[in-house]
Chain A
Amino acid sequence: MALTLTPGVPMAPGGEAPPERVKRKGKTAYFLLIPGMAWLVFFFVIPLGSLFLTSLERPLGSGPSAGYTSALRWQNYTEAISKYDTEFLRSFWYAGLATIVCLIISFPLAYFIAFRAGRWRNLLLVLIVAPFFCSFLIRTYAWKTILADDGFITTFANSLNLLPDDRILATPLAVVFGLVYNFLPFMVLPLYASLERIDPRLIEAAADLYARPWIGLQRVTIPLAMPGIVAGTLLTFIPATGDFINSQLLGSPRTRMIGNVIQTQFARDALPTAAALSFSLMAVILVVVFTYIRRAGTEELL
């Protein structure tokens, strides 16, 4: 009864895993890298270095107007973080919440577009991207009007007694909503890309092997969509953490995020504080991202 293949019979050439692409040798590839590398050096590495040096500067007098000089004043970091820890935590809280809401909205949406939309697929994808044709600043201003206290949404919600503060604008709800709205396409598109690559027969095979739809989703669809889920959450979470527009336009001083603090500090010439906060934010995000990717088991993304 055992299945046996005659020894010595080579496997089907078509059935073998495709051989690794032959790596081309030559220097052309490195030449092609030059413009990109130059761009990175001039507009990323050098400014980053200068920002880092700024973050260690020491004040010449009292107050930012007196100016700063180069130093190695590490207290800038501890002072800035202890002073603005609330905004730090709030940023991660809002961004995390927005990311989760984005994921909950985007997964069914991307699933529908990938598997059920048929000939409407391209149109729906265009609709997802369409908001980018208009500046996000303008769109966020538009939401300010739509969510205004005398706007129909707030009026309607109030008539149902849904709002604890009797308003939407200038509340954390509005800020998180704005983050969700602005970063949704960055979640939908990578999710769509990875769902679209899943062979629908794998989902059928799960059903054929006694998996109810919900189990099939857990055991087959979601694991196969993991690269898209990781990419989408990172593309949403990272910029949302540093965002200041949504809090500034839709929030209040009580919803200030770390982006707003950095922006204010730069504006009032407190450059070392702003720089130290920027570097701290970057460091925390890097740690969070690395931990997340390790736990999600998709190291190949790095």
Chain B
Amino acid sequence: MASSSSSGKVEDLRLVSLVKDYSGVRAVDDISLTIPAGSFFALLGPSGCGKTTTLRIVAGLEDPTSGRVFIGEQDVTIKPPYQRPVNTVFQNYALFPHLTIYDNVAFGLKRRGEKDIETKVSDMLDLVELSDLARRKPAQLSGGQQQRVAVARALINQPDVLLLDEPLGALDLKLRRQMQIELKRIQVDVGTTFVHVTHDQEEAMTMADTVAVMNAGRIEQMGAPEEIYELPKTAFVANFLGQANLMEAEVVDRDGAQLVVQAYGNKWSVPTVRAVQNEGQIIVGIRPEKLRIALGASSDTEGTNSIVGTVTDASFVGVSTQYLVRTPWGQELIAFEQNLAGGDRIRVGDEVSLTWEKSHSFGLAGHENVDAGVMDLSGAIAEAVTESS
């Protein structure tokens, strides 16, 4: 294992009350978390949420304003990057353009004066299937090949923690899906802790054991992908991680383990354990794929909630159809219907009912903005432009 970890085993990464201010702007706001050794951890959030800054603090490329970074029992907060048992796969890879692929991969080993560099590098290049290209320069490689060089260059040093900063961002969709699977496989094989920063929720959920959703410098929610997807605790998480229908409602009664809520003349039930708040104004949420859409009035049964509405848009995407349904109070809800029947049964303008299992509802705090974390395309483009300049 890395010569820097004297115990010879992979160590936990621990962040304690991490804060980073940039001339008055708080980029990272009091983050504390423990990333267990050997796990694949994703920091997920929109651009500007502080996820890259957090990663750079762990790498030692940024100093935190306050707080500490521990690897195992070792406090590395004030250690320079070249003394940390941590390596980074940079966004756009940052391969040394004047060095060959071989020399790029050997760079870290040479700096630490390791032995058998030649064997180690050729083993690593075999592993990522780039042995034939060892004498080439990075500019002569394709994007996917460069990406593998970047992973090889970092991983060959056997760090305690491998940091990946949007490593797949520059690849096209198809290649990105392949690389997600490959990276996950490498992580399982080498057992190194991977900390992966991404704004792509699908990427985070596919690869990570644990996902932390970040917003405005804070971690909104952390947990296994399926856990936070099924039970988001804030409107931001509900909207950023997939899509959600969020409706304002008021708790009017309690029926055993269910909260009875009233919204726009409808009565629904939300399991008490799935609500962050048990009284007053709350937000009722339901994922689009949990909604069943049917023509005509609802056939409300014991275990379900329902809404009636008018279809305003139906887009067929192959595996499913996405419907927009306008409720009597003017809100547009999203429903996915799996393409089981084949062909389009429901059309724009049809009156439909939406029903869902009571147990699938979740309840959020009533004061939240139901649009928090919704992808605003024009905003996202503007941010991407400023970020790249």
Contacts and interface: CB of A to CB of B under 8 A. Distances in A.
Interface in A198-212: 199, 201-202, 204-212
B48 to A, nearest CB: 19
Contacts of B112: 210
Interface stretch (A12-20, A66-74, A149-157): A12-20
B90 A9 contact: no
Interface string B166-191: 00001110110010001001100100
B97 A15 contact: no
A74 B126 CA distance: 65
A214 to B, nearest CB: 11
Contact of B90 (A12, A204, A220): A204
A209 B108 contact: yes
Contact of B97 (A2, A204, A224): A224
Interface string B80-99: 11110011101110111110
A9 B172 CA distance: 12
B61 A204 contact: yes
B111 interface: yes
Contact of B143 (A4, A14, A202): A14
What size tier do the contact residues of chain A reach? 20 to 34
B110 to A, nearest CB: 9
Helix, strand, loop or mixed for chain A's interface?
loop
B94 A199 contact: yes
What size tier do the contact residues of chain B reach? 35 or more
A6 interface: yes
A208 B61 contact: yes
Contacts of A4: 129, 182
Contacts of A219: 107
Contacts of B139: 17
A204 B81 contact: yes
Contacts of A108: none
Contact of B182 (A3, A14, A15): A3
24 contacts: A1-B189, A2-B127, A2-B128, A2-B129, A3-B127, A3-B129, A11-B144, A11-B145, A12-B172, A14-B171, A16-B143, A201-B91, A202-B94, A204-B94, A205-B88, A205-B90, A205-B95, A208-B60, A208-B61, A209-B111, A210-B82, A210-B108, A210-B111, A212-B82
Q: Which 8 A-B pairs have the closest CB atoms?
A: A15-B143, A11-B142, A209-B108, A210-B111, A12-B172, A201-B94, A205-B94, A207-B81
